[in-house]
Structure 1
């Protein structure tokens, strides 16, 4: 008589995979909050410019704030009860830069609540600025100390200095402090130029970017257009040639990423693809702000097209993220206790 095999011994590989422990929430999840907060800001501009439904913009803002609070709570929990993983992430040459998305999202949240409570908005801004300065100095200082492999130099190096400086500039302008915003804008602009040359050198001389790292290239779209939004804020919104130049470079980066998309997408979808979202949302925002301040009819068509495209792209990211969550794959499985690949 054949011996009956216990069900536990015949468990499928799929069930074994599902039972594997998952890593704690990575700092890269702040990219989701950043992307949706940025899109909500685009909708708020659309309410002024095109009289879009106020309720839709309010709902988008409320959803973005909810996601931000959820991610912030998850990241704080990691430091409280999974400190070893948090420290490992802090010491990682790539993942540590993603932590800077925390203060970026906090400053975007301060913009989102400004119309409801100026006191709360200023408090969030102060926390975000203090945190971004501390993180920027600590993380950027590592580059000066050397010892970093060229293949780890990707657009994530923008995050500790460029992204938070530009967002701080735009937020300062929103509070009516353009001179303070100009200080942050200068820091972000010069850091962007310096870091972009480093990234291009790495792309030219290092080995091709590994598949798990390729989605981080989406961050490349953000600096010119996030910087453009910041510039329009601190300069009073005048559509000058510098603003047009920043938008033009942003459009060029968007075309470049479309050309690279088949190569980037060899990496199956993970939350790291949210690295595209900030630039995707800021691109139409900048074009819409130019139109709001008197740009020509050509820019009206461009702004409308980019607005639709941004909603489609971020909508796809949301659906793919929900699919990962429903299939229990949103958080990566633990791999020998190591942090592997960007999140």
Structure 2
């Protein structure tokens, strides 16, 4: 069981590949270019991979919480956590022909999970940030604001800005 604690969250990327291949074969089966069962096996294999990895990640959270929290604080690994709810959305599409109720629950959970991840990832005073960046403490978050994009040269020209921003005392 100690080997399960070393499974990185980046393994959720496998779900995208397996499910994408199964979806392509599923589509090929609908237009008559391949047997229909090949696509179904591929899609269900992607669903099985997601389920196994989700169970392993839940086990890791219980058994080795410090490693999971280290992934949350690591800027490189943190982005892969979004693949857990994204995989739930893919699985909901894969199982929809067979169990629509489970599909709806997985879709809702995936959407809520992805929005939660995005809120945590993009929040200006979020708890999960790189240790190398300076940011205001959470207690003073209300007193900080983003600089106005109207001051940027691209905004004066009427073109979209480059997406960079800085934090100023406001």
What TM-score, normalized to structure 1? 0.36
Residue matched to 2:87: 105
Asked if the contact 2:85–2:114 (Cα under 8 Å) also holds between the matched residues in 1, the reply is yes
Q: Distance in 2 between matches of 1:22 and 1:109?
A: 22
Q: Distance in 2 between matches of 1:125 and 1:52?
A: 28
1:130 to 92, 112, 116: 112
Higher relative contact order (Cα pairs below 8 Å, separated by 6+ residues): 1
CA drift of 1:99 comes to 0.2
**Pairing 1:81-120 to 2, within 5 Å after superposition:** 81-120=63-102
Cα deviation digits, residues 183-222 of structure 1 (max 9, x gap): xxxxxxxxxxx9xx569xxxxxxxxxxxxxxxxxxxxxxx
Cα deviation digits, residues 55-113 of structure 1 (max 9, x gap): 11111122111111111111111101100000010011121111000011110000000
1:40 to 17, 22, 29: 22
Count, aligned residues: 134
Counterparts in 2 of 1:77 and 1:22: CA distance versus 1, 3 Å: closer
Q: Distance in 1 between matches of 2:61 and 2:41?
A: 31
Asked if the contact 1:27–1:98 (Cα under 8 Å) also holds between the matched residues in 2, the reply is yes
CA drift of 1:43 comes to 1.4
Asked if the contact 1:37–1:64 (Cα under 8 Å) also holds between the matched residues in 2, the reply is yes
Q: Distance in 1 between matches of 2:118 and 2:91?
A: 19
**Pairing 1:262-301 to 2, within 5 Å after superposition:** none
What TM-score, normalized to structure 2? 0.69
**Pairing 1:187-266 to 2, within 5 Å after superposition:** none
Counterparts in 2 of 1:112 and 1:147: CA distance versus 1, 3 Å: closer
CA drift of 1:128 comes to 0.4
Asked if the contact 1:103–1:128 (Cα under 8 Å) also holds between the matched residues in 2, the reply is yes
Q: Distance in 2 between matches of 1:25 and 1:36?
A: 18
Structure 1 gaps, min length 5: 1-20, 151-193, 200-343
Counterparts in 2 of 1:54 and 1:86: CA distance versus 1, 3 Å: same
Within the alignment, does 1:55 sit opposite 2:50 as a pair? no
Q: Of Structure 1 and Structure 2, which has the larger fraction of its residues in helix?
A: 1
CA drift of 1:39 comes to 1.6
CA drift of 1:38 comes to 1.8
Q: Secondary structure at the match of 1:95?
A: helix
Structure 2 gaps, min length 5: 134-159, 165-170
